[in-house]
Amino acid sequence: MLNMGVRAVAIDNWWCDDAMRVAHLGTQLALGCGKFNVLFADVIADIGQWMHEPGNENEFIRITLDEKYDQGHDAEVNGPLERYLGHDEILSPADLRDTYRGLWPTLRRMKEDGKRVVVVSSDDTLHQGKYIHAKRCESFPFNEFTNYPLCGGKTDSNCRRFRGDATHYIFDVIYDGPTANGAITDLSEMVKCRINLPATDMVTPQLMMTGVYTWAYGEPSIQLDEDSCVMLNHADFRWYTSPDCDQSLSYACQSSTDPNDWLVSESTGPYDVTRDLCPIGYKFSLPHNGFRQQKLKEAMKGSSVWLNLTPWLTGNFPITDAPLTSPLGNFANYLRTFYPALLSSIAYFVF
């Protein structure tokens, strides 16, 4: 799951048979939960082990506890979080209040501060608020999602989670996942709509590939450095490294005042970040989420365009695009902003 690119998980934790366990029951009651269900502590231990494996030192994860009501047993929840994920690596409510003055930090700031984990409740069951934040996103069944441009009511100022459920439960006369919520089999429209948290319980490599709006398969095909040039191809609207930075293409231009406003330069030229062909009020840039890429796609005139990836390769992040803190608290958008070469959205896996 994590090796496929998932960076947000939802865990249904239940107190049953004298322990905190994990069970995806499709009900508001702990019916069918027993000794055969995995311990909550073991699930958190598995996540913690992956987070601390060599090569994963810079990875981030968001955990949502999909607890249906306050079951108590705070130590059985907080203990595994602290023991396996690390007290200093979890961005706690106290950190948010005291260190960041209530403003959610970007991933870049979290990396600088050694914070790699955010834990959120789906229903504001906080277990004393030691590690768990109140919910940030409105949650809707996938059946209520509408494709671009309606986007299920998503805007730049709200946070939306659309949950799918592909499970046919034994007692489907009471509850059946695909009927009640709808099954997510493709992420591309939600990526196009910059949905914060697509939530599905069946993750495959094929599904995850539909969540990528950036690199084409097999790209980048060369080692990226400050001299690399990247284009958005007009045929499949994916990113490619170009072996010829001298070819003449239009530039992708983003409004300096409205990040969702895109056009392409009328003039063409070789890739050169010092020679901005964009008109006044626009800057040579690249789309930081699927919604902005869609706006750029609509502005393209049947030709490939240069994308300005250079600042992200040299570490000279544009200040306006990479503030140290943001009031929105949109964890998924942070990943899109600072790691545009990765998956364009965070997919949920639901236990």
Tell me, yes or no, whether 57 and 188 share the same domain: yes
Tell me, yes or no, whether 192 and 104 share the same domain: yes
Q: What percent of the chain has pLDDT over 70?
A: 85
Signed CA dihedral, 86, 92, 98, 99: sign only: positive
Domain span at 177: 2-214+325-350
Higher-confidence residue of 316 and 292: namely 292
Tell me, yes or no, whether 285 and 241 share the same domain: yes
Tell me, yes or no, whether 294 and 333 share the same domain: no
Q: Please give the average per-residue pLDDT across 23-35, as a whole number.
A: 71
Contact between residue 228 and residue 286 where contact means Cβ atoms under 8 Å apart: no
Q: How many beta carbons lie within 10 A of that of residue 168, not counting itself?
A: 13
Q: Please give the average per-residue pLDDT across 241-262, as a whole number.
A: 95
139/161 Cα distance (integer angstroms): 5
> In a 3-state reduction of DSSP, which class is residue 21?
strand
Question: Helix-strand-coil percent breakdown of the chain, rounded to 5?
Answer: 25, 20, 55
64 bridge partner residues: 10, 120
269/251 Cα distance (integer angstroms): 8
Domain membership flag for residue 320: no
Tell me, yes or no, whether 18 and 71 share the same domain: yes
- What confidence tens digit (pLDDT) does each residue in 309-319 have? 988 887 665 54
- Report cis status (omega within 30 of 0) of the bond before 323: no
Q: Of 259, 314, 322, nearest to 111 (Cα)?
A: 322
Confidence of residue 249 (pLDDT cuts 50, 70, 90): very high
Q: Of 10, 349, 2, 344, nearest to 187 (Cα)?
A: 344
Contact between residue 172 and residue 178 where contact means Cβ atoms under 8 Å apart: no
pTM for this structure? Answer: 0.80
Q: Please give the average per-residue pLDDT across 55-81, as a whole number.
A: 93
Q: What percent of the chain has pLDDT over 90?
A: 62
Tell me, yes or no, whether 33 and 134 share the same domain: yes
Tell me, yes or no, whether 206 and 238 share the same domain: no
- What confidence tens digit (pLDDT) does each residue in 318-337 have? 544 443 333 333 333 333 33
Domain membership flag for residue 123: yes
The amino acid present at 314, given as its one-letter code, is T
Tell me, yes or no, whether 100 and 147 share the same domain: yes
Tell me, yes or no, whether 139 and 258 share the same domain: no
Q: Is the pLDDT of residue 138 over 80?
A: yes
Give residue for tokens 């958190």: 44
Tell me, yes or no, whether 37 and 140 share the same domain: yes
Tell me, yes or no, whether 141 and 279 share the same domain: no
Q: Of 144, 173, 180, 140, nearest to 158 (Cα)?
A: 140
Give residue for tokens 């109140």: 134
Q: How many contiguous H segments (helices) and E segments (strands) does the chain have?
A: 10, 18
Give residue for tokens 């706690």: 92
Structure tokens, 11: 């865990």
Domain membership flag for residue 319: no
Domain membership flag for residue 224: no
- What confidence tens digit (pLDDT) does each residue in 169-194 have? 665 556 677 888 889 999 999 999 99
Tell me, yes or no, whether 161 and 253 share the same domain: no
Q: How many beta carbons lie within 10 A of that of residue 281, not counting itself?
A: 11
Strand ranges inside the chain, DSSP E: 8-11, 13-16, 19-22, 61-65, 104-105, 117-121, 132-133, 138-141, 160-163, 197-200, 230-232, 239-241, 250-255, 262-264, 282-284, 305-307, 325-326, 348-350
149/143 Cα distance (integer angstroms): 16
Domain count, the chain: 2
Domain membership flag for residue 84: yes
HSE-CB of 143 using CA atoms within 13 angstroms: 9
- What confidence tens digit (pLDDT) does each residue in 259-283 have? 999 999 999 999 998 888 999 999 9
Q: Of 78, 84, 88, 70, nearest to 131 (Cα)?
A: 78
Q: Please give the average per-residue pLDDT across 105-113, as a whole number.
A: 90
